[in-house]
């Protein structure tokens, strides 16, 4: 056994080394002065969900109000009302899309279940407010963010999504071509032909085409 | 330090005094004792005030209780006569939430059980569901799970030791050293999963997303720096005379009692019982890695501290081996559906060695999308069963150190 | 570990009068469970703990399960004489499952490192006959977990040394993990932000709900 007190002295030496080191060794100085200095967030960082639009913040929303995220959200913080046209026919567009971020737990499950790549995670974290019931309930227009913004914050992921959507669109177009050439083809094509006739489908949204593109095995050779 | 007799004196164990609602008004006659650890109802004694005893409630808001947690201590002078933990301040009926939602929607809630170790909680739940539904996990996903679970173990143990030292009066320094290292690991988690603590990363049959570019290199760099941190931490603490005086011989837990009371994790191994689920159940791919299970000798608080230090070193060894050979391939079983996941009717109990002990999930499926029964076996809750036994006869300040070494997180205790 | 059938036979021999039954498990057949009657549960538990071949010294998990009354359709394979030849015939049998509560114990052996053995005790109904035997005298680890099962499910464990509520407060009346539990509109004086916000949102946009 050592002399009594050597253990304490050993510890003191360690703290002294850290103290001196904190002046020159970046490994030992790990804090930053937050509001002035900022760390860059990693690409995967997430805070709360946002809705992606392509061109126009309202018309270009990819969301088709399918309500899958509303159903799957574990804390049930999403509230969606589907839009309807003058005759009361449902349009593929959310009239109301509310997200209560005082309830949202940033789990990202809405992003995973969304079949239209419409809802994604934002990285903005400075959201504190003194209005508990007003500013913490985000509406559709607060949530709408452009695809360019999405590219800025999640570059890799956004590139993957864009590639996937472009691919799907190409497939759908390839499938639509033979369908237009042969109007007397069987049922799925007929349903496909009917889809563009709907007034609701947002022009730019590839999402609207996606469900029809799903059973597209005959079109695959054409796409390849 | 170990008492001479293997059987501790449990006659002082308090029992029915605090009963508010006792349905068993006439308790059944105690069955014939076959072991020294059997609890039997004790006849009522004189009220505490008549015996000169003082009842003190520590908490619910007290810096030493690791959260919102109350300890009802009955003291004779400074010595503890009774020590009853009171739970439920953080109770949110997690199990009911799990039963009301789908299998997937319970996953982010598991993060909030033991919020220090969200990734091992995720794994425990995924393990139980995979057992229930009979799913296989791709090799790469298993490697990622092991890497994240061992990183979790290191940051949990480091933080716990920091908190334990805080309990001993070492304000800040060890805790901040631990947090500095924990920060590096949390940065890795953030880069991988998007969140530092509430990771929600694992999915049934694999992981949510693949490793981002450069993550493995960064992880290797952090792991390479870990032994230096362990050495520094040990220089700072292990031979410190104050630490030794305050922790050696305090809170001795005999191995027989530890086994009977279902104590698991570092606390059990500090009592010398070799039971590590990574070796016993060999879940994941742990049988591919070489590591040892550190065991204590005396079962006191110092051994619990030392076992955790050694476990961190072993975890770093596992990490070094795992990071050498992360295989390629898919990260999730493509057959598993995210939505409308319906395991067939039946039940399964999946468990793993979380940093705090055995974390188990018991699931009963009735064939629907929601689990019929969703039960968590929380290690820090069950490890508190024998808190009173360990504190009996010691002073209050020792009791807080013992509580600190149990390693509890109230999110998991109260659920 | 021995198969459950062997354990059942040996336990019946060791504890005279014990009524044991096997309950199948559809998902993990190896983890079928042993149902024991409450009168002999403690004796059977001691046998399981002390038997040199089993030594199930570690009770990992104790919990309750609430089974509502239900009718269950089961497919049972039986051997029958069909046209003079014995054949295996699949029949659908519908039987009523009376509502009951269940205490489930998961037992392991730390010495022999095997397990689990799933032990179950069942109550007669969900209303007034909700007593089972406490196994806390056999395994200390059941102490808090049985209290929790009492608190959340209302299973009364006879012989438990300190059976009172553990997670809910002492004045609480109901058992919240029961399947038919109806939660109050609000536990707290202050309305929770969530409901309030949603209500406000609905009032704000007076839209008809969809059919």
More confident residue, A188 or C88: C88
Is-contact A55 A148, C-beta < 8 A?
A: no
At A29 the three-state DSSP class reads: coil
pLDDT of residue B123: 92
Is-contact A110 A78, C-beta < 8 A?
A: yes
More confident residue, B285 or A222: B285
Q: Is the pLDDT of residue A215 over 80?
A: no
**Spatial distance between the Cα atoms of C30 and C116, rounded to a whole number of angstroms:** 9
More confident residue, B279 or A212: B279
More confident residue, A70 or B22: A70
Average model confidence (pLDDT) for chain B?
83
- Residues 304-343 of chain B with CB under 8 A from chain C are 343
More confident residue, B148 or B24: B148
- Residues 172-201 of chain B with CB under 8 A from chain A are 173, 177, 180, 183, 187, 190-195, 198, 200
Q: Residue B153 — left, alpha, or beta (φ > 0 → left; ψ -120 to 50 → alpha)?
A: alpha
> Quick one: what percent of chain A has pLDDT higher than 70?
78
Match 């508190």 to its residue by tokens: B384
pLDDT of residue A25: 82
B196 to chain A: closest CA residue: A45
- Contact partners for chain A, using 3 or more CB pairs closer than 8 A, are B, C
- At A126, phi and psi to the nearest 5? -90, 80
pLDDT of residue C187: 56
pLDDT of residue B24: 43
Is-contact C61 B375, C-beta < 8 A?
A: yes
Which residue out of C191, C192, C197 would a mutagenesis test of the A interface target, given it has the greatest number of A Cβ atoms within 10 Å? C197
* A155-181 helix and A187-194 helix, angle to the nearest 10 degrees: 110
Q: Read off the DSSP letter of residue B197.
A: S
pLDDT tens digits for B221-241? 999 989 988 998 888 888 888
pLDDT of residue B156: 92
CB pairs under 8 A between A and C: 36
C162 closest CB neighbour out of B16, B261, B360: B16
pLDDT of residue C3: 85
Is-contact C136 C147, C-beta < 8 A?
A: no
Q: Poorest-confidence range of A74-83, A119-128, A174-183, B115-124?
A: A174-183
Of A195, C112, C104, A52, the residue nearest B360 (C-alpha): C104
Q: Residue B284 — left, alpha, or beta (φ > 0 → left; ψ -120 to 50 → alpha)?
A: left
pLDDT of residue C186: 53
pLDDT tens digits for B36-87? 455 555 555 556 556 678 888 887 887 777 778 888 888 888 888 888 888 8
Mean pLDDT to the nearest integer, A94-99: 88
DSSP C114-132: EEEEEEEEE-S-SSS--EE
| CB-based contact, A84 to chain B, within 8 Å | no
**Spatial distance between the Cα atoms of B145 and A51, rounded to a whole number of angstroms:** 31
- At A82, phi and psi to the nearest 5? -75, 145
Of the pLDDT bands very low, low, confident and very high (cuts 50, 70, 90), residue B124 is very high
Question: Would the CB atoms of A96 and C207 count as touching at under 8 Å?
Answer: yes
pLDDT of residue C106: 92
**Ordered alpha helix ranges (H), B66-172:** 94-100, 107-111, 118-133, 139-168
More confident residue, B279 or C200: B279
pLDDT of residue B150: 92
What are the pLDDT tens digits along chain C (211 aa)? 788 888 888 888 888 888 888 888 888 877 888 899 888 888 999 898 888 888 888 999 999 999 888 887 777 777 777 677 777 777 777 888 888 899 999 999 988 888 788 999 998 888 888 889 999 888 989 989 999 999 999 899 988 888 888 888 877 778 888 888 877 655 554 445 566 666 766 666 665 554 4
DSSP C47-62: HHHH-TTT---EEEEE
**Spatial distance between the Cα atoms of B296 and B310, rounded to a whole number of angstroms:** 10
Question: Would the CB atoms of C141 and B382 count as touching at under 8 Å?
Answer: yes
pLDDT tens digits for B363-401? 999 888 899 999 999 998 999 888 888 888 888 888 888
Chain B partners within 8 Å of A30 (Cβ): 180, 183
Which residue out of B375, B381, B384, B406 would a mutagenesis test of the C interface target, given it has the greatest number of C Cβ atoms within 10 Å? B375
pLDDT of residue B10: 40
Is-contact B380 B266, C-beta < 8 A?
A: no
**Spatial distance between the Cα atoms of B187 and A44, rounded to a whole number of angstroms:** 11
Residue C15, preceding bond cis, omega within 30 degrees? Answer: no
Provide the shortest C-alpha distance from residue B77 to chain C (in Å): 25
B27 closest CB neighbour out of C31, C159, C177: C159
Dihedral of alpha carbons A163, A164, A169, A172, sign = positive
pLDDT of residue B307: 92
CA separation (Å) from C8 to B255, C63, C102? 29, 22, 19
A45 closest CB neighbour out of B104, B190, B338: B190
Of B364, B85, B24, the residue nearest C150 (C-alpha): B24
Is-contact B329 B139, C-beta < 8 A?
A: yes
pLDDT tens digits for B175-224? 888 888 898 999 999 999 888 889 889 989 888 888 888 899 999 999 99
Pairing of strands B346-354, C20-23: unpaired
B232 closest CB neighbour out of A8, A14, A43: A14
Q: What predicted TM-score, i.e. pTM, was given to this entire model? A: 0.81
Longest dimension (CA), chain B: 71
B246-259 exposure pattern, b = at least 16 Cβ within 10 A, e = fewer? bbeebbbbbbbbbb
């Amino acid at each position: 056994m050592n002399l009594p007190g050597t253990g304490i002295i050993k510890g003191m030496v360690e703290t002294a080394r850290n103290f001196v080191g904190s002046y020159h060794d970046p490994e030992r100085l790990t804090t930053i002065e937050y509001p002035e200095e900022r760390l860059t967030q990693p690409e995967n960082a997430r805070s709360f969900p946002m809705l992606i639009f392509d061109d126009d913040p309202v018309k270009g929303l990819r969301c088709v109000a399918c309500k899958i995220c509303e159903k799957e959200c574990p804390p049930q913080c999403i509230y969606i009302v589907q839009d309807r046209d003058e005759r009361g026919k449902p349009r593929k567009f959310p009239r109301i899309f509310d997200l209560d971020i005082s309830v949202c737990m940033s789990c990202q499950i809405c992003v995973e279940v969304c079949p239209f790549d419409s809802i994604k995670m934002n990285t903005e974290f400075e959201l504190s407010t003194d209005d508990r019931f007003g500013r913490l309930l985000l509406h559709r227009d607060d949530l709408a963010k452009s695809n360019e913004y999405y590219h800025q914050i999640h570059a890799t992921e956004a590139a993957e999504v864009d590639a996937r959507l472009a691919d799907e669109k190409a497939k759908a177009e390839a499938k639509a071509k033979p369908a237009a050439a042969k109007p007397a083809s069987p049922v799925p094509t007929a349903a496909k032909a009917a889809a563009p006739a709907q007034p609701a489908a947002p022009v730019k949204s590839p999402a609207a085409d996606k469900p029809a593109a799903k059973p597209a095995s005959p079109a695959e050779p054409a796409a390849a | 330090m170990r008492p001479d007799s293997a059987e501790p004196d449990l006659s002082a164990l308090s029992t029915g005094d605090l009963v508010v609602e006792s349905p068993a008004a006439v308790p059944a006659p105690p069955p014939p004792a076959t072991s020294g650890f059997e609890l039997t109802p004790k006849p009522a004694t004189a009220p505490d005030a008549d015996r000169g005893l003082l009842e003190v409630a520590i908490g619910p808001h007290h810096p030493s209780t690791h959260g919102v947690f109350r300890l009802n201590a009955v003291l004779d002078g400074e010595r503890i006569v009774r020590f009853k933990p009171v739970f439920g301040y953080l109770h949110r009926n997690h199990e009911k939430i799990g039963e009301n939602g789908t299998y997937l929607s319970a996953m982010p809630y598991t993060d909030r059980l033991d919020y220090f170790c969200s990734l091992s909680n995720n794994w425990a739940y995924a393990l139980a569901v995979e057992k229930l539904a009979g799913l296989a996990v791709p090799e790469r996903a298993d490697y990622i799970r092991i890497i994240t679970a061992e990183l979790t173990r290191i940051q949990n143990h480091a933080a716990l030791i920091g908190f334990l030292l805080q309990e001993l009066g070492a304000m800040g320094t060890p805790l901040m050293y631990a947090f500095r290292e924990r920060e590096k690991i949390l940065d890795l988690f953030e880069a991988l999963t998007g969140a530092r603590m509430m990771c929600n990363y694992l999915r049934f049959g694999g992981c949510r997303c693949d490793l981002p570019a450069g993550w493995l290199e960064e992880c290797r760099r952090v792991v390479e720096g870990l032994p230096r941190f362990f050495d520094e931490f040990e220089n700072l603490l292990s031979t410190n005379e104050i630490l030794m005086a305050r922790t050696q011989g305090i809170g001795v837990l005999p191995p027989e009692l530890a086994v009977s009371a279902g104590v698991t994790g570092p606390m059990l191994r500090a009592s010398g019982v070799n039971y590590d689920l990574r070796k016993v159940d060999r879940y994941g791919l742990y049988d591919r890695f070489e590591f040892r299970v550190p065991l204590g000798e005396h079962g006191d608080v110092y051994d619990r501290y030392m076992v955790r230090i050694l476990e961190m070193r072993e975890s770093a060894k596992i990490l070094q081996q795992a990071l050498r050979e992360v295989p390629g391939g898919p990260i999730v079983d493509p057959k598993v559906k995210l939505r409308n996941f319906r395991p067939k009717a039946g039940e399964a109990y999946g468990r793993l060695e979380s940093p705090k002990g055995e974390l188990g999930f018991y699931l009963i499926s009735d064939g629907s999308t929601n689990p019929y029964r969703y039960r968590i076996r929380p290690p820090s809750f069950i490890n508190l069963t024998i808190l009173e036994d360990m504190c009996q006869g010691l002073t209050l300040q020792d009791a807080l150190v013992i509580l600190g070494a149990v390693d509890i997180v109230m999110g998991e205790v109260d659920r | 570990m021995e198969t459950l059938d062997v354990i059942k036979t040996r336990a019946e021999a060791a504890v005279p009068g014990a009524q044991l039954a096997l309950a199948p498990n559809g998902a993990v057949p190896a983890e079928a469970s042993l149902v024991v009657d409450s009168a002999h549960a403690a004796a059977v538990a001691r046998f399981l703990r002390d038997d040199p071949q089993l030594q199930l010294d570690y009770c990992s998990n104790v919990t309750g399960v609430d089974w509502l009354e239900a009718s269950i359709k089961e497919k049972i394979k039986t051997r029958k004489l069909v046209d003079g030849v014995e054949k295996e015939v699949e029949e659908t049998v519908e039987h009523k499952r009376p509502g009951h509560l269940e205490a489930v114990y998961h037992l392991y052996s730390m010495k022999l490192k095997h397990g689990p053995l799933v032990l179950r005790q069942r109550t007669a109904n969900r209303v007034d006959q909700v007593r089972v035997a406490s196994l806390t005298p056999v395994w200390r680890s059941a102490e808090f977990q049985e209290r929790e099962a009492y608190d959340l499910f209302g299973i009364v464990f006879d012989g438990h040394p300190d059976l009172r509520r553990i997670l809910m407060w002492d004045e609480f009346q109901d058992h919240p993990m029961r399947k038919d539990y109806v939660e109050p509109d609000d536990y707290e004086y202050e309305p929770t932000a969530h409901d309030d916000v949603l209500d406000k949102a609905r009032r704000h946009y007076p839209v008809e709900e969809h059919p």
